[in-house]
Amino acid sequence: MSFTESEIAGFGVGAFLLVASLAAPKVDAFIARAQRRTLKLCEACGGVQKLPCKKCRGRGQERVGFSTPWEKSNSSAPACGACNGRGQIPCSSCCKT
């Protein structure tokens, strides 16, 4: 089986797009940190002094079981114990208290 030049070029472009899409979040985070460093802001939070809670991902409630968005749950989810239901925690890089 032989490939034409345009098929080989198509494979190359496809591979490039795949790698670029996989690397995009890391490149974006790198650029954001560089901009914060240039502006002399906290590199982690950007000077906001709050970060989303890692346990509840900023929702303020723990997720109990799996439910789809169109299913309504009759029971309310318990408040997150890590952030006390606020969804945010103080930035450990710039907040010392």
pLDDT of 17 reads 96
Indicate if 55 and 14 belong to the same structural domain. Answer: no
The confidence score (pLDDT) of residue 25 equals 93
- C-beta separation of 56 from 88 below 8 A: no
The owner of tokens 């709050």 is: 50
Which band of pLDDT confidence, cut at 50, 70 and 90, is reported for residue 13? very high
Say whether both 49 and 36 belong to one domain. Answer: no
Q: In this structure, is residue 72 part of a structural domain?
A: no
CA 49 to chain centre: 17
pLDDT of residue 58: 85
For the stretch 21-73, pLDDT in tens is: 999 999 998 999 899 889 999 888 888 899 999 888 888 887 766 666 666 55
> 10 pLDDT exceeds 90?
yes
Whose structure tokens read 């303020």? 60
Claim to verify: residue 1 and residue 28 sit in the same structural domain: yes
- Residue at 86 is within a domain: yes
DSSP states of 33-63: HHHHHHTT--TTTTTS-EEE-TTTTTSSB--
Residue 25 and residue 2 share a domain: yes
Say whether both 52 and 17 belong to one domain. no
